[in-house]
Amino acid sequence: MDHSPQVKRNSIDEKRDPELESGSSEHKAELGKQHVIAHDEDEAELKRERRNALYQRYRPFILAAVALVILGWWISATVLEATRHRWIVQTFWAWFFILIIAFRFLPNSIVTTPVSAVWQPLISRPFFSLSYRVRLAMGWLALLGIVFGSAFGFPLPEGTGYGDRAISVFGLFVFTTGFWLSSKHRSQVPWPTVIVGLFMQQAIALFVLKTDAGFKIFLWIARLAADFLDQATPAAGFFFDVETTQKHWFFVNTLGAIIFFIAFVQMLYYIGVMQWLIKQFAWFFFKTLNVSGAEAVVAAASPWIGQGESACLVRPFVDLMTESEIHLTMTSGFSTIAGSVFAAYVNMGVPGQNLVTSSVMSIPASIAISKLRIPETDEPLTRGQVVIDQGAEDKHGRPANALHAFSKGATFGLIVAGQILCNVLTVLALVYTIDGLLTWVGKGFGIHHLTLDLIFGYMFYPITFLLGVPA
């Protein structure tokens, strides 16, 4: 027996305001409005459930067709001479999506069981049978090996010397030692997490900078991101002439790209793509660096969606975070750049590959440094699980569809772009004002170019020197 009409009536009655039942005509009109809104919401939910049921019925056939299309594209692109030169990137992404589809139907045990059968007896058990101090010593040796190997084990490019690399290595040890000395609980520093995080940073750098496959993959990602963000430029031509869009003004090109990027991300949120990608990324750091689920999600999301938005992914747990978790949330946010800021830098001419590489490298490094400064002394609520808040609704309710989510994202992007415009304008004006005052005062001492740039250049020279920045 179908009870859906009764359920629908009950849901409508629940949304009525009892105080309006015996009111005036205005109150009755308001009651009728509530009735219509509730009815529309129920109808939309019913249609959504029907679409989901229809998709679930034909899901295997749809995914199989998509996989065959991807496979056909990969074969064609690999054979054709015009696209054969990019076979590494094509192969990586084609089989990445094919395997994602395949594991929708195949159990993970097909891969995990044989890997575990080799990993456990040959690596895991012998390693963890050693004492903690021996394992720690092996970790430090591996970290020192990859640091010195990456610094001195490869040919030098023109214009650099081993002295410059020695300064960078020395700076790494100075900063790490300084963070340890300023640690809140030096005796409780999780050294395995610190060592693995710093090791992963160096490993990512070697993969990108010293291997052809890594270089091409990240170069492709950077070009894809730059081309994607550049689509806002012809869209801006709808409001401005072509000559204006080609001048690369911050107001026209950069802010337009930021609005477009935020709108697109909000649409991916509605579909569920962003949550899935971030959860898979977070699972890796959750397993390798022994952090809580909330920390892994925030750190993995920071390079893509920004500091504030990444914290929203674990919104139910923010109020219950420990001091160490809060510190890691802030550290990972300041160590990376959001996608909107990435758009701004790319439009200003900064190489996208450098930005992508440095942001990905900073994920494990920020976790390591954060745990070095503020080690975990409590028991996090999300220890042992990776949980992401779906964020399906805001104060205005859930978007009706993907296009509605895109439109709401554009509105939010306009707010963000306006805030960036106002802050850049006012901060630059403040800097110019201070520079003018400093120059006026400096002339009294015979210093004719006393500015903030000159002062901070001398103040932060030791830091930039230890970072290995060329003189």
pLDDT, tens digit, 9 for 90 and up, residues 428-460: 999 999 999 999 999 888 888 899 999 999 999
Contacts of 323 (CB under 8 A, 6+ apart): 374, 378
- For residue 359, pLDDT beyond 80: yes
pLDDT band at 47 (very low <50, low <70, confident <90, very high): confident
Task: Give yes or no for a contact between 192 and 139, defined as CB atoms under 8 angstroms apart.
Answer: yes
Residues 30-38 have a mean pLDDT of 64
Question: Which range, of 27-41, 66-80, 84-98, 343-357, averages the lowest pLDDT?
Answer: 27-41
Q: Quick one: pLDDT at residue 12?
A: 45
- For residue 4, pLDDT beyond 60: no
3-state per-residue secondary structure call for the chain: CCCHHHHHHHHHHHCCCHHHCCCCHHHHHHHHHHHHHHHHHHHHHHHHHHHHHHHHHHHHHHHHHHHHHHHHHHHHHHHCCCCHHHHHHHHHHHHHHHHHHHCCCCCCHHHHHHHHHHHHHHHHHHHHCCCHHHHHHHHHHHHHHHHHHHHHCCCCCCCCCHHHHHHHHHHHHHHHHHHHHCCCCHHHCCHHHHHHHHHHHHHHHHHHHHCHHHHHHHHHHHHHHHHHHHCHHHHHCCCCCHHHHCCCCHHHHHHHHHHHHHHHHHHHHHHCHHHHHHHHHHHHHHHHHCCCHHHHHHHHHHHHHCHHHHHHCCHHHHCCCCHHHHHHHHHHHHHCCCHHHHHHHHHCCCCHHHHHHHHHHHHHHHHHHHHHHCCCCCCCCCCCCCCCCCCCCECCECCCCHHHHHHHHHHHHHHHHHHHHHHHHHHHHHHHHHHHHHHHHHHCCCCCCCCHHHHHHHHCHHHHHHHCCCC
pLDDT more than 90, % of the chain: 23
Measure the CA–CA gap between 97 and 112, rounded to whole angstroms: 19
- For residue 427, pLDDT beyond 80: yes
Closest to 296 in 3D by CA, of 344, 258, 339, 328: 328
| pLDDT digit string, tens, across residues 172-197 | 999 999 999 999 888 899 999 999 99
- For residue 387, pLDDT beyond 70: no
- For residue 91, pLDDT beyond 60: yes
Q: Quick one: pLDDT at residue 389?
A: 60
Residues 224-233 have a mean pLDDT of 80
pLDDT more than 70, % of the chain: 86
Residue 91, class by beta-carbon neighbours within 10 Å (0-12 exposed, 13-18 middle, 19+ buried)?
A: middle
CA pseudo-torsion sign 265, 270, 273, 275:
positive
| Residue 387 phi, psi dihedral angles, 5° rounding | -125, 135
Question: Which range, of 90-99, 245-254, 445-454, averages the lowest pLDDT?
Answer: 245-254
Average pLDDT, the chain: 82
- For residue 251, pLDDT beyond 90: no
